[in-house]
C-alpha cells in the first residue's frame, strides 16, 4: 500500500519523537520504550500503513523490542491525538499516514492494486477556498480520496483483455 510521493517536508521545530514525548508528558502519561520504538519505526520511512502492516515490521513475540498488538493499537491512537498521524478508513480498514511535518495533500486510490498515490493541487485548494467563501465557511483542512484505476493496472487490464481477444 505504500507509495511515497514527492511532497516537500514542512519545517517543524521538534522531531516526531520529541513531539510525542512532549505530548505524553503534557498528559501525565508514561514515556515507555515500546512507545518510543513505535514512533521511531513509524517515522523511519514515509508510507501509508495499517496496524497489521506495522506489526509485521516489529520483532516477533519473545524477541527484544517486541510490542504487543494492544499496545500498537493504543499507541497509534495516541499518535493521531498528538497530531503525528492522520487516520482514515479505506475498504473498511484503518489506514494511517504521517501528518506532522507533511503538507496538505490528497490521494488517488487504485481499487485494483489498493495503492494510494499522493498529490497536491493548488487549483483544488483554490476551488475549496472559493466554495468555502461562497458558503461563509472557515476551512480547517480537508481530505480527498479519489477512487479509480491506476495506469499500471489499466495497462494490465488492457493486456489481459487483448490476450483474451487473441485467444478467440
- State the binding site for Fe cation: 106, 142
> Cell digits for 35?
512507545
Q: How many CB atoms lie within 10 A of CB 152?
A: 12
Q: Which residues participate in the annotated binding site?
A: 106, 110, 113, 142, 150, 153
Contacting residues for 13 by C-beta, under 8 A, at least 6 apart: none
Distance between alpha carbon 144 and the CA centroid of its chain, in Å?
13
Kindly report the backbone phi and psi dihedral angles of residue 147, in degrees, each rounded to the nearest multiple of 5, phi listed first: -90, 145
Extended strands (E) in 75-163 = 85-90, 93-98, 106-110, 116-119, 145-148
Q: Which residues participate in the annotated binding site for Zn(2+)?
A: 110, 113, 150, 153
Amino acid at each position: 500500500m505504500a507509495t511515497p510521493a514527492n511532497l516537500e517536508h514542512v519545517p517543524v521545530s521538534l522531531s516526531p519523537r520529541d513531539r510525542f514525548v512532549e505530548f505524553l508528558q503534557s498528559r501525565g502519561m508514561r514515556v515507555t520504550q515500546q512507545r518510543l520504538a513505535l514512533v521511531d519505526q513509524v517515522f523511519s520511512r514515509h508510507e501509508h500503513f495499517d496496524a497489521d502492516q506495522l506489526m509485521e515490521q516489529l520483532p516477533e513475540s519473545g524477541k527484544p523490542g517486541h510490542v504487543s498488538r494492544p499496545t500498537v493499537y493504543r499507541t497509534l491512537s495516541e499518535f493521531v491525538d498528538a497530531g503525528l498521524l492522520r487516520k482514515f478508513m479505506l475498504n473498511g480498514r484503518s489506514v494511517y499516514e504521517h501528518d506532522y511535518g507533511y503538507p496538505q495533500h490528497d490521494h488517488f486510490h487504485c481499487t485494483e492494486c489498493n495503492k494510494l498515490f499522493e498529490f497536491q493541487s493548488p487549483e483544488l485548494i483554490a476551488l475549496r477556498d472559493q466554495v468555502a467563501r461562497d458558503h461563509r465557511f472557515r476551512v480547517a483542512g480537508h481530505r480527498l480520496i479519489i477512487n479509480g484505476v491506476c495506469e499500471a493496472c489499466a495497462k494490465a487490464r488492457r493486456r489481459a483483455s487483448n490476450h483474451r481477444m487473441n485467444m478467440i
